[in-house]
Amino acid sequence: MKTFDITYRYSSDDAAIRSTPPDSHAALLRLEQGNNSFATLLDHDEEGSVVQQIIPVDLRDLGLPADSTVPKQRPFAAVLGCSDARVPVELIFNEGPNDLFVVRVAGNGLGIEVLGSLKYAVENLGGSLKLIVVLGHSGCGALTTAVDVFLNPREYLPLATKRSLRSILDGALVVVQTSERKLVAAFGPAVVQRPGYRKALIETSIVTNAALAAYSIQEELRTNAYTGIEAAYGVYLLESRAIWAPRSGDIDGFGLAAAPRDLAAFVDLGDAIVQSRRIESLLNAKQ
């Protein structure tokens, strides 16, 4: 039997509490290191062993001791993630209460309420907030549905009358269309016949969707002259618990990646995604 303990250790000892990252780079590194600790924790495969991971939490973030003041909100990163129950944001980043400002919505799309929530965080938590992350995940149901509707438009009919579902789907369909064009440009029109095509299109769409949202957030930050806060994207892989973010010049692309700087960089990113090792292996898989 194997046992894994993930423990939140509450303490008011300043020496035991992690300090808030001073800038967006440090915030990104802390999230990457946290995810790495979580992803590799379960790699310990010694039978009969108990593997323990401790997440230090400031007791004062719970308003303790009782005579102290109400805790002040001070997340160092905002994360836009999917509602999927298999992707609990704090847990996969090894973080605790008051560390992350989390917005979760099916398909992690940038709807009006989502953007409003992130704007609130930027405008009100600027003292501690250094980074906004858009986090997709492998096998996302929202993008999978969009791909299936794209490949077989008749599947749209039962969904067309459900306005709330349609709004999630319509945004995702634009991403699927772009992803299809990139795959065809990179591998030729016959790519659509490959057995792994559907899966590759789903995963290309998932990461493109996350990168596009991060790019849009960054544009919004720049337009409103918010400095010191950066946007990044990544995809949580359910199969390995690691984060994947293909980018130009890195065909493996593990960890989080900074949002593309401009439109040209976003176009280059599309090429890098379809040329990444993971998409290639999905395309080559016999299914």
Per the annotation, where are the binding residues for Zn(2+)? 82, 84, 137, 140
The least CB distance from residue 135 to Zn ion, in Å, is 10
What tokens does 58 get?
């400031």
As measured in angstroms, the least distance from the Cβ of 154 to Zn ion is 23
| Phi, psi torsion values for 39, nearest 5 degrees | -65, -40
Q: Which residue has the tokens 């303790």?
A: 64
Closer residue to Zn ion (CB): 81 or 255: 81
Q: Exposure of 65 by Cβ count < 10 A (0-12 exposed, 13-18 middle, 19+ buried)?
A: exposed
3 state SS of 128: coil
What's the token pair of residue 12?
A: 């008011």
What amino acid occupies position 129? L
Task: Give the number of C-alpha atoms closer than 13 A to the C-alpha of residue 82, restricted to the C-beta side.
Answer: 26
Site of interaction with Zn ion (CB under 5 A):
82, 84, 140
Q: Which is nearer to Zn ion, 140 or 217 (CB)?
A: 140
Taking alpha carbons only, the member of 180, 205, 212 closest to residue 194 is 180
Nearest-approach distance from CB 229 to Zn ion, in angstroms? 25
Cβ–Cβ < 8 Å for 89, 135: yes
Q: How far is the CB of 88 from Zn ion (least distance, A)?
A: 13
**Whose Cβ is closer to Zn ion: residue 84's or residue 230's?**
84
CB of 251 to Zn ion, least distance (A): 25
For residue 159, with 0-12 CB atoms within 10 Å meaning exposed, 13-18 middle and 19 or more buried, which class applies? middle
Task: State which residue, 168 or 191, has the beta carbon closest to Zn ion.
Answer: 168
Q: Of 21 and 81, which has the nearer Cβ to Zn ion?
A: 81
Chain length of the chain: 287
Residues annotated in the binding site, as ranges?
82, 84, 137, 140
